[in-house]
Structure 1
Amino acid sequence: MLLPVVMAGGSGTRLWPLSRTLYPKQFLSLNTSLTMLQETLRRLEGIPHQPALVICNESHRFIVAEQLRKAGQQHSGIILEPDGRNTAPAVALAALQAQASGHDPIMLVLAADHEIQDENRFVNAVKEAASFAQSGKLVTFGIVPTSPETGYGYIQIGEKLGGEGYKVAAFVEKPELDVAKHYLEDGRYLWNSGMFMFKASVFLAELKQFRPDILSACEKSLTNSTRDLDFIRIDGEQFHNCPEESIDYAVMEKTTEAVVVPLDAQWSDVGSWSALWDISQKDLNGNAIRGDVLTEDASDSYLYSQHRLIGVVGVKDLVVVETKDAVLVAHKDKVQQVKNIVSQLKNENRSEYLQHREIFRPWGSHDTIAEGERYQVKHVIVLPGQVTAKQIHYHRTEHWVVVTGTAKVHMEDKTYIVTENESTYIPVGVPHSIENPGKIPLEIIEVRSGVYLAEDDVVRVSSAGVGY
């Protein structure tokens, strides 16, 4: 059966402020109740396949595991990349891991952050591509263009093969607008989707021929890998030495076995707020609205409220996105420049580019709801059966007030229960952790006080659980 390989890396800076470095767009729910990662796996339900192999950045490992668990989606493992080295090394790791069991599956390589609205056509294209992959071809999926896009690479189709496949005549870089218009009129050019299908052995053989340095580094990285629960931890030092290269440059542009299967399935890589507006459901005035939003004389806009009421009056073609710690207002024609705001945040060493105010952990989450010069108040949620790491703070004290549920507090060599409307005090320098022994989420208001309140005031005493 088919082995899906889902690449869940990437930072998604163009969808800031929803997408952050530590919580990028593939983990967001943008157009349905499921996240983009969950939708990618659900989309495979009409295709016989093995549980997917997922590749992600090590810093996203718990997000991936939790989203798969919540959706009840089985997987064949989660490969953790210590560094992002682009798609060729990522897929090489997946191919080597796939062969480790003694099999040679056909791999369907997908990005976790694509939107495909016509799923029947997607399934049919995958089935069409499988016959080419089985015969030793390297298949890419070319999106039938609907406009002269300058943000995509293109694939020029060549000789027609059996079924719906074509030889690849050429891969073309992102064009200028007049060239893109020519491609659209010509009819022989498709958008490069970044989705592929091939046998693991075929891809590795081509990689060995054209980029043996990448293959060697990946082999060494995986040889020294360790298995930790669902996670496959590769050798970080070896992988750091791996060249950074895309599949297109490393293999697809060089091989003589490339085949393209056209895909006309209302596809989008959701690469900007305007692209998200395009695929979203709209009201009679052309507004795509999510959250608590009121409009008056507003049209053709994307309006998203995560935390509070937004009132929008007398505007057209705007993007307005509100989160707990940031608000974006942009014209739809200028949304590609959002990444420049992210660059400014990085240069000023501000946390808003990196993570949201509410931070998710394997045991739950914490959200800063008030702060001042010498105090900080957090809303902490500990999931049933979970426990935070035992840790020490040297610059702050903490008061914990239980709002909902039951807390089992571990402090020094003592363990005691704190229930609803009760509180406990954590002095400076005392080892402590908190556990939820109950069946419902434990909600706590945590009040920190001291001269230094940053998250790095922590000394881990044990690794049982994961701290802030």
Structure 2
Amino acid sequence: MTLIVQPVILSGGSGTRLWPYSREAYPKQFLTFVGDKTLLQDTVARVADMEVGAGIGLRAPLVVCNELHRFLVAEQLRQMGYDHAGIVLEPAGRNTAPALTLAAATALAAGDDPILVVMPSDHHIEDTAGFRQRLLDAAQRAADGAVVTFGIVPDKPETGYGYIRKGADLGGDAYELNAFVEKPDALTAASYLATGDYLWNSGLFVLRASVWLEQIRRFRPDIAQACELALTQGKRDGDFIRADKASFGACPSDSIDYAVMEKLTGGQGAVAAVVLPLAVGWSDLGSWPALSDVREQDADGNVTVGDVFQKDTHNSLLYSQNRFLATVGVSDLVVIETTDAVLVAHKDHAQDVKAVTDHLKRSSRQEHIYHAKVHRPWGDYQGIDHGSRYQVKRLTVKPGAQLSLQLHHHRAEHWVVVKGTAKVTRGEESFLITENESTYIPLGVKHRLENPGTIPLEIIEVQSGSYLGEDDIVRFEDNYNRIES
């Protein structure tokens, strides 16, 4: 009998502790921190091309993500050769237990009972080969009905992670999952490390789809019913599986650990809960200092990225995205520069970055949501200048892509082509403009911008009017189903 392995990627986080690189509309899992792949792509690749051997079949990844991020996920999977991967959309964040319930029900609907390899999209693992070997061990145990999680072998008394306490030795370097333990203080963490009985909680799980659904129905029937109704009343939108907004909105929020796993510890559940120790250079990249552990450091313990000069600087993380960054005579700092924001923090306080994003929310600002460059399914745009009744943007439209047919009630637009060829629909007319040519879109006129060429189209757009917000868009036709019904 062939075992079917289904990678499930949970990609619902917003990564606020890695602000200002990570933003709500473009969070950390879509960014590149180590190597040449994004964290999401690294997670997919960790399983996607592994050699599973005879008797095991490997499915394409199934990603559960926020609806806001659907085009980012689709594009990054497309870059890896997955043109039709399964993407389940959450209308709202409800934590990991509902996300896994959506994934398990979707996987089971394909007609078999696959072994789910459940992975957050924002982890880093150095030893991929070692992880794959342990994954195959976990899959064999999951095939027999066990719920398996990985516990990271700690190398320091970490206070930023929850812990797992090992129980009875099951052989094969596997243990009964005895208990989950909350994040400890420094003294308690040191005692955990000394005993050797505690592992960091990784948030990685391996189990059959049917086993998860049985357990969530048993322990949290309210979550199970809400998710199953959301899928039944949802719909397919191309490669996207849309959970019904009202049904999923009524779903309680809970984590995999609290909803099910804690109730299986210590042999008290109807199924075996197993923990496999994992020593593969794991990090959840949950804060800026965590990057210092996975990036190459210089002789003074510094990690530098971008156009950076440092003198008499020690044990610091220096990231420059756009401008020249210089430090002199400092230690233990995190300095992060982006187009529209700069963060300076002591490493000991880097976990408190959320206070900045909370301030931005209270102030009704946008820097916690969007980067200066805002990504759209057709390309991206970036603000260049703005005033009380005007703003200037640079638009890049991918080859073959088109914006929606739309109009604006409060602004007119001037377009200047600086690269490529644009096809413009304006009212009842349609025409082409090329480099150094321009056109004008009057207020209240239906219009559309397309790139019929084979190279990216770059446009300078000057908007003028009484209101310039992004919500002043009335869409009539859209290739990306962004028209509200």
Please give the TM-score of this superposition, normalised by the length of structure 1: 0.98
Residue from 115, 129, 135 that aligns with 1:106: 115
- SS of equivalent to 1:303: strand
| Equivalent residue letter for 1:462 | E
State the alpha-carbon separation in 2 of the partners of residues 441 and 333 from structure 1: 43
The answer to whether the aligner puts 1:25 opposite 2:16 as a matched pair is no
Matched, 1:390 2:410: no
Q: CA 1:111 to 1:385, structure 2 compared with 1: closer, same or farther past 3 Å?
A: same
Q: Distance in 2 between matches of 1:41 and 1:176?
A: 34
Which of 222, 246, 253 does residue 255 from structure 2 map onto? Answer: 246
Q: Determine which of 35, 43, 47 is the counterpart of 2:46.
A: 43
Tell me whether 1:174 sits opposite 2:188 in the alignment: no
Name the structure 2 match of 1:439: 454
1:273 has 2:276 as partner: no
| Structure 2 letter corresponding to 1:233 | R
Matched, 1:87 2:96: yes
Amino acid at match of 1:110: M
State the superposition RMSD in angstroms: 1.4
Change (3 A) 1:116 1:211: same
Please say if residues 5 and 54 of structure 1, whose CA atoms lie closer than 8 Å, have aligned partners that are also in contact.
yes
Contact 1:386 1:465 in 2 (8 A): no
Q: Report the residue type matching 1:147 in the other structure.
A: K
Which residue of structure 2 aligns with residue 402 of structure 1? Answer: 417
| Contact 1:388 1:465 (C-alpha < 8 Å) held by counterparts | no
Of stretches 213-222 and 325-334 in structure 1, the one that deviates more from structure 2 is 213-222
Match of 1:227 in 2: 236
Aligned residue number for residue 195 of structure 1: 204
Q: Which amino acid letter does the alignment assign opposite residue 23 of structure 1?
A: Y
Q: 1:361 aligns with which of 352, 376, 387?
A: 376
What is the number of residues matched between the two proteins? Answer: 468
The alpha carbon displacement at 1:47 in A equals: 4.3
Distance change in 2, residues 1:297/1:156 (3 Å): same
Cα shift readout 1:44-70 (whole Å, capped 9, x = no counterpart): 122432101100000110111111112
TM-score by length of 2: 0.94
Matching residue of 1:236: 245
Mapped contact 1:122–1:263 kept (Cα < 8 A): yes
* 1:197-243 residue CA offsets vs partner (Å, 9 max, x unmatched): 00111111122221112111111111112111110001111111111
Deviations 1:382-411 (A, max 9, x none): 000000011112222211110000000001
Q: Is the 8 A contact 1:400 1:447 kept in 2?
A: yes
User: Residue 409 of structure 2 contacts residue 472 of structure 2 at CA under 8 Å; is this kept in 1?
Assistant: yes
| Alpha carbons of structure 1 residues 133 and 194: separation in structure 2 relative to 1, 3 Å | same
Distance in 1, Cα, partners of 2:217 & 2:247:
17
Q: Is the 8 A contact 2:77 2:85 kept in 1?
A: no
In 2: Cα distance, 1:115 partner to 1:464 partner: 35
Q: Is the 8 A contact 1:387 1:465 kept in 2?
A: no
Q: CA deviation at 1:374?
A: 2.3
Asked if 2 retains the 8 angstrom alpha-carbon contact of 1:54 and 1:75, the reply is no
Q: Does 1:152 align with 2:161?
A: yes
Map Cα deviations across residues 302-344 of structure 1 (whole Å, 9 max, x no partner).
1111111111211111111111110001111110111101101
Contact 2:152–2:282 (Cα < 8 Å) also in 1: yes
Cα distance, 1:446 vs structure 2 = 0.7
Contact 1:51 1:74 in 2 (8 A): no
Instruction: Tell me, in whole angstroms, the C-alpha distance in 2 between the residues paired with 1:61 and 1:464.
Output: 14
Rounded Cα–Cα distance in structure 2 between residues aligned with 1:411 and 1:253: 60
Secondary structure of the residue aligned to 2:263 is: coil
Instruction: Report the Cα distance in structure 1 between the residues aligned to 2:440 and 2:84, rounded to whole angstroms.
Output: 42
Does residue 1:5 correspond to 2:14, yes or no?
Answer: no
Could you give the per-residue CA deviations for residues 176-215 of structure 1, whole angstroms, max 9, x where no partner exists? 2211111010100000000000011111112222111211
Q: CA deviation at 1:274?
A: 0.5
Q: Is the 8 A contact 1:363 1:466 kept in 2?
A: no
Q: Secondary structure at the match of 1:2?
A: strand
Q: 1:248 to 1:47 in 2, by over 3 A?
A: farther
Assess, with a 3 A threshold, how the Cα gap between structure 1 residues 465 and 98 changes in structure 2: closer, same or farther: closer
Aligned twin of 2:298: 283
1:303 is aligned to 2:318: yes
1:28 is aligned with what amino acid? L
CA distance change for structure 1 residues 34 and 279 in 2, over 3 Å: closer, same or farther? Answer: same
Match of 2:442 among 406, 411, 427: 427
Q: 1:53 to 1:355 in 2, by over 3 A?
A: same
Q: CA 1:374–1:26 in 2, change beyond 3 Å: closer, same or farther?
A: same
Instruction: State the identity as a percent.
Output: 55
Does residue 292 of structure 1 match 2:307? yes
Q: CA deviation at 1:282?
A: 1.5
Which of 463, 467, 477 is equivalent to 1:452?
Answer: 467
Work out the CA distance in 2 between the residues paired with 1:209 and 1:368: 51
Residue 402 of structure 2 is aligned to residue 376 of structure 1: no
Residue 462 (structure 1) shift = 2.1
Is it true that 1:416 corresponds to 2:435 in the alignment?
no
Matched residues in 1 for 2:212 and 2:387: separation? 56
1:178 aligned counterpart, secondary structure? helix
Q: Partner letter of residue 208 of structure 1?
A: R
Task: Give the Cα separation in 2 of the matches to 1:74 and 1:465.
Answer: 15
2:162 and 2:32 map into 1 onto residues whose CA distance is 26
Partner SS for 1:345: helix
Aligned 8 A contact 1:390 1:464 in 2? no
